[in-house]
C-alpha cells in the first residue's frame, strides 16, 4: 500500500536489501513458522546461525516478536542488536534522576510519570553527556507492559530527525522505564492550549506541521510500514528550535502485509483524532493516520482543540465545525486563530486549509498520502509577502485649545460638527496628516 520513496536511502533503518523478503500472512497453523523465524532472527543477531548479524535494515515486525510468546529481557536485547540502545539498571536510573526526585519531575501521562535526568559516560561507557527524559511505567495506569514493549521495539529500530530518539530502557523485575532525548519545549499541546502560553507565530506553526508530516511520512513509506495510530498534539514534542518529533509509540502497529488492505485491530486512540471508518470497523490503514494529521493541522490553524465540550454544541467537534469553511477562501478568516492577530500569509493559510480539508475527508481513499502532504506544505513558509496585519486607527491629534475654540465658535452648531467631520475625513484619507490610519505588519 505504501509507495517506495527515497527515505530508505536517507536513513539506514530501512533498505530495499532487507533480508527475508516480504512477511508471511498470519494464517492458522502458521504460529510455529513464526516462532522459528523469530528464533532464527535472534540467533543471527547474536552471531549464531548463519553468522551474519541482523541489522536494522531487516527490521523485525512487532508481530514476529510478540508471537514468540512472553518476551524476556534477553529476547528483547537480542531482537534489538544493532540499535545502539543502552540497557539501564533501575539503580542507574535512580542515580540519573536523583532517586526520581520531585525537583526532576516533568509531567505525567497515560504511561506514567516522566523525570528529567542527566547521563554521561559515567552512567554508561560510550554514552554522550546529555540531558534526558526518563519515563516510568505506572503498572496501575492506562497503559501496560505490551505498550511499553511496543515503544521499545519500534523506537529502538526507527531513526529519523522527526522521531524522538530513544536512548535506552530498563527491563528489570517489575520495573519498566524508557530513556529519551530531552525535548526542551515540551509538547505542542502545551503551546497551543495552555492558558498562559504565548501564541505560536505563524512561521513556527508551519515548521511544526511540516516536521510532524515528515515523521509520519517516514513511518508510512518504510519498507515495513508502521501505522502510528495516536497522532495528536500531546504526542508531538518540540526541541529548543521547535523541531517537531513524534513520541509515544505504545499504540503503533505494523502496516498491512502483502496484498492486505488493512489491519484489523481493537479500536484505540484519542477521541477527536481517530478516523471515523476506524472507529466504526476497526480497520486500520495509513489513511487513519492521515486523518489524525488533518485534525492537528486544523488545531494549528484555528487554535482550537479537537474536542472542546466547553463550546456550544455545534462547535464542540473541531472537524465538523471547521469543515464548511476550509474549502471557501472567503470564509476562512472566520476559523483562523485569533491568537495569530492577523499575522499570517493569506495564501499559505488557504493552501494549508485545503490540505487539512483533504486529510479529514470522510472517504479514506480521498485522503492524500503523507508524502503528498509534505510536498504541499513545504513551500508555504516562503509565502510571506502578503501578511495580513491588524488595522489600527489613530485619532487626529487635536490640541485642547483648538477643540475649545471650535466649541465656542460653533456653539455645538452643525457647521462646527461639519468642520470636525472634515478634519477626521482628511486624517483617514491617508494624506500628510500624521494621524492617518495605518496597517501594521511583520517587518
Q: Is the pLDDT of residue 214 over 60?
A: yes
Between CA 124 and CA 127 the distance in angstroms is: 5
CA angle 44/45/46 to nearest 5° reads 90
Among 318, 314, 315, 305, CA closest to 357: 318
Q: Region 409-433: what's the mean pLDDT? A: 45
Q: Which residue has better confidence, 437 or 387? A: 387
Q: What are phi and psi of 116, to 5 degrees?
A: -85, 145
Q: Is the pLDDT of residue 308 over 90?
A: yes
In this predicted structure, what is the pLDDT of residue 385?
A: 52
- Per-residue HEC secondary structure of the chain comes to CCCCCCHHHHCCCCCCCCCCCCCCCCCCCCHHHHHHHHHHHHHHHCCCCCCCCCCHHHCCCHHHHHCCCCCCHHHHHHHCCCCCCEECCHHHHHHHCCCCCHHHEEEECCCCEEEEEEECCCCCCCCCCEEEEEEECCCCCCCCHHHHHHHHHHHHHCCCCCECCEEEEEEECCEEEEEEECCCCCEHHHHHHCCCCCCCCHHHHHHHHHHHHHHHHHHHCCCCCEECCCCCHHHEEECCCCCEEECCCCCCEECCCCCCCCEECCCCCCCCCCCHHHHHHCEECHHHHHHHHHHHHHHHHHCCCCECCCCCHHHCEHHHHHHHHHCCCCCHHHCCCHHHCCCCEHHHHHHHHHHHHHHCCCCHHHCCCHHHHHHHHCCHHHCCCCECCCEECCCCCCCHHHHHHHHHHHCCCHHHHHHHHHHHHHHHCCCCCCCCCEECCCC
Q: Is the pLDDT of residue 265 over 80?
A: no
In this predicted structure, what is the pLDDT of residue 393?
A: 44
In this predicted structure, what is the pLDDT of residue 329?
A: 86
> What contacts 181, CB < 8 A, 6 or more positions away?
130, 132, 133, 164, 165, 167
pLDDT band, very low/low/confident/very high, at 413 (cuts 50, 70, 90): very low
Whole-model pTM over 0.85: no
In this predicted structure, what is the pLDDT of residue 436?
A: 39
Place of cell 536512548: 167
In this predicted structure, what is the pLDDT of residue 70?
A: 62
pLDDT tens-place string over residues 180-198: 999 999 999 999 998 877 8
Active site residues: 230
Q: Is 9 left (phi over 0), alpha (psi -120 to 50) or beta?
A: alpha
pLDDT tens-place string over residues 13-29: 323 333 333 333 344 44
In this predicted structure, what is the pLDDT of residue 195?
A: 80
pLDDT tens-place string over residues 109-143: 778 899 999 999 888 888 899 999 999 988 765 56
Is 50 exposed, middle or buried, given 0-12, 13-18 or 19+ CB atoms closer than 10 A?
exposed
Q: Region 149-161: what's the mean pLDDT? A: 91
Query: Mean pLDDT across the chain, nearest whole number?
Result: 77
Q: Which residue has better confidence, 64 or 338? A: 338
Q: Which residue has better confidence, 202 or 258? A: 202
pLDDT tens-place string over residues 315-350: 999 999 999 999 888 899 999 999 999 999 999 999
Q: Dihedral sign for Cα 319, 201, 231, 8, please.
A: positive
Amino acid at each position: 500500500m505504501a509507495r517506495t520513496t527515497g527515505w530508505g536511502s536517507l536513513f539506514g533503518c530501512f533498505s530495499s536489501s532487507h533480508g527475508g523478503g516480504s512477511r508471511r500472512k498470519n494464517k492458522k497453523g502458521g504460529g510455529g513458522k513464526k516462532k522459528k523465524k523469530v528464533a532464527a532472527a535472534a540467533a543471527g543477531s547474536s552471531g549464531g546461525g548463519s553468522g551474519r548479524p541482523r541489522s536494522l535494515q531487516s527490521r523485525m515486525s512487532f508481530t514476529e516478536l510478540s508471537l514468540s510468546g512472553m518476551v524476556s529481557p534477553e529476547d528483547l536485547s537480542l531482537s534489538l542488536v544493532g540499535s545502539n540502545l543502552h540497557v539501564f539498571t533501575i539503580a542507574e536510573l535512580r542515580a540519573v534522576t536523583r532517586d526520581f526526585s520531585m525537583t526532576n519531575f516533568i509531567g505525567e501521562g497515560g504511561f506514567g510519570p516522566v523525570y528529567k535526568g542527566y547521563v554521561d559516560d559515567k552512567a554508561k561507557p560510550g554514552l554522550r553527556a546529555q540531558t534526558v527524559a526518563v519515563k516510568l511505567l505506572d503498572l496501575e495506569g492506562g497503559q501496560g507492559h505490551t505498550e511499553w514493549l511496543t515503544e521499545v521495539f519500534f523506537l529502538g529500530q526507527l531513526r529519523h530527525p522527526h522521531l524522538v530518539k530513544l536512548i535506552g530502557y530498563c527491563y528489570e523485575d517489575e520495573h519498566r522505564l524508557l530513556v529519551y532525548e530531552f525535548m526542551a519545549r515540551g509538547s505542542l499541546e502545551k503551546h497551543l492550549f495552555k492558558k498562559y502560553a504565548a501564541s505560536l507565530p505563524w512561521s513556527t506553526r508551519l515548521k511544526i506541521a511540516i516536521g510532524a508530516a515528515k515523521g509520519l511520512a517516514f513511518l508510512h513509506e518504510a519498507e515495513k510500514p508502521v501505522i502510528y495510530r495516536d497522532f495528536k498534539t500531546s504526542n508531538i514534542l518540540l526541541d529548543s528550535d521547535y523541531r517537531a518529533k513524534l513520541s509515544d509509540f505504545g499504540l503503533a502497529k505494523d502496516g498491512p502485509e502483502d496484498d492486505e488492505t488493512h489491519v484489523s485491530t481493537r479500536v484505540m486512540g484519542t477521541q477527536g483524532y481517530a478516523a471515523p471508518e476506524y472507529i466504526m470497523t476497526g480497520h486500520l490503514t495509513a489513511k487513519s493516520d492521515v486523518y489524525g494529521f488533518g485534525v492537528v493541522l486544523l488545531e494549528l490553524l484555528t487554535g482550537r482543540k479537537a474536542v472542546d465540550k466547553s463550546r456550544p454544541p455545534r462547535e464542540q467537534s473541531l472537524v465538523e465545525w471547521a469543515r464548511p469553511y476550509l474549502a471557501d477562501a472567503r470564509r476562512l478568516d472566520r476559523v483562523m486563530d485569533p491568537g495569530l492577530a492577523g499575522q499570517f500569509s493569506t495564501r499559505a493559510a488557504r493552501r494549508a486549509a485545503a490540505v487539512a480539508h483533504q486529510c479529514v475527508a470522510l472517504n479514506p481513499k480521498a485522503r492524500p498520502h503523507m508524502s503528498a502532504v509534505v510536498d504541499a506544505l513545504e513551500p508555504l513558509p516562503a509565502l510571506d509577502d502578503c501578511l495580513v496585519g491588524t488595522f489600527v486607527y489613530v485619532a487626529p491629534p487635536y490640541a485642547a485649545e483648538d477643540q475649545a475654540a471650535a466649541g465656542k465658535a460653533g456653539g455645538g452648531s452643525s457647521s462646527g460638527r461639519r468642520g470636525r467631520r472634515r478634519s477626521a475625513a482628511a486624517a483617514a484619507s491617508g494624506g500628510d496628516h500624521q494621524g492617518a490610519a495605518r496597517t501594521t505588519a511583520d517587518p
